[in-house]
A and B are shown apart, each in its own frame.
Chain A
Amino acid sequence: MADWFTLVAIFLLLTVAAALVRCWRGPGPVERIMAAQLAGTGVIGVAVVLGAARGDAAFLDAALIGTLLAAIAVTAFVRGTAKPGAKE
């Protein structure tokens, strides 16, 4: 059964790689940040799955930190956005 979880982890890594292709291609800044976000979700999934495969609950703390800090990069990215025509 643990092998299945490892297989799932491999597959999740491949989806992260696919997301990173879009990050490479862009075209816009929003796409790149979205790709980083999707890669983060993939990595959280891998941490959960690896934790199950190894039976180590501490892996979940890593996943939990990942989810808590996941939104910060996006928040920082959009913070300076202003309405067109609005004064700075």
Chain B
Amino acid sequence: MAITGKQRSRRIDRNYTSSQDPSILWKRWFGWAGLILGGLYGLWLLTPSAAKQLSTGTLSKAHHAWNETGCDQCHAPWSPINTTSFARSPEVIADNNRRCNDCHKMADHYPGATEHSLLALESCVQCHHEHLGINHNLLDIADESCVRCHADLAKFVIDANRPLSKVTSFDSTNGIPGHPHFQGLVRDPGTIQFSHTQHLRPGQALRPGDLSAKTWDSLPLAFQDQYQKPKKGSDPIQLTCSDCHERDHPIAGFETLEGPNATSATNSLGRQTNAHVLYKPIEFSKHCEACHQLDLPHKLDFKDKNQLLDIVATSQQQRLARSERLQSTSNPSESSVDEENRLRIAGTASGQDLIGLIKQNNPLAKTEIFKTYACSKCHQPATDLAFNNNLESIVAPSSLPTQWLKKASFSHGPHINIQCDECHKIRLDSNDLSLGNLASDVLIDGIQGCQKCHIVDEAKRREAQVDGVKIIARADCIDCHRYHDHGPQGTATGSGQTGLGQTVTQGSTGTASP
């Protein structure tokens, strides 16, 4: 009993379109509901109480409290805080930077060398990105932040004629040179004569197999506990790096290695950090005297002449006594005062009356002391030693840097799992004593030594893994360098502190001088 389409159509009221389909009504109602709900929510968003809703992401821990207090703490309304935005201007950036500087007194980046107009366009948020979650590290600065300028510094510095390195990466990639050689290692400022090679040989022998090796038994009793005893006391003593080099701070997590009272370095928040874990200066009395005993105190006071006379006279008497004992065993005879003076004078390096020179305030006295008491074994004489009687020290400053990489903040802390000789190369089988004959020789091959493990390029990383390199690390600029950390005292606008609350000290803090 099928019916045709025409029959079917005739069952429909011609005015059916005047009736409302429920789906159309629902659409209309939902549309209005969306409009009203969206409008109400939008209006509420314009009120201060809704500030948290507008945040584009949770603030990091440092600024977390401001998640609740609104945007105006950091943002100036209608002023783009992002330096890449289309409406940036030096005034707007300066205003935004001022809001950061209200709390963070940070130094500018080489204000004396950088083009001021370009420096004015540098914003804090250019490197420190916020709204990336509570666990985002604001100090995790991308290399691009540095490379942006350092790829071609000539555009950014005032004196474009000065030699400038173009740095795009730590290691060279695709023919583009990487980080330049460490300038801090180019010139050795140290003056202490010292051979790491000799001192790390068994018994500190001059050459391999030398029979005059120092044994543990030959050490004074007071120093024996300081060094590890070999199997037999008559065996040559073997020094290790840590016998002389002590960390300035224990490495966080390894405090027990340094003793019960050791406390690791802390940052400005009081948290343990491995930043700037360096090594203390070498102390003669602690690290050298066990083997190198002096007739004079290591640090002589030249201000008090009488005390100096007493010390020198006593030391000459002791020398004479030792020589008399030697003579008495070979040629026992009584020595007169004249003979004693003769021997005393003969005992000096130049055959001069040292006591007399001191009494006369003769500048040659200091030269004579320097020569007679074997200061020259390790030290170089002070400048004008022979002419200037007012010198407080007869030796040149040791000038051993505590921080070799002066423009970086190298720390031994993260390298605790690496043996010293992985980076500090010593050829113990060499007969060449000139190798490493300065205490200041850090024995670093240069940046190539670092680039063995610190690899940026992915392809090179894979190659290194294939080659069996077990430790491969990143090499971000921020790992060693600090944007705000470019001087011991900072600039007029900053405190010179790094982001970790550490102040870098530079200068000569080498071994003590007599």
Q: Are A and B physically bound partners? A: no
Residues of A within 8 A of B (CB): none
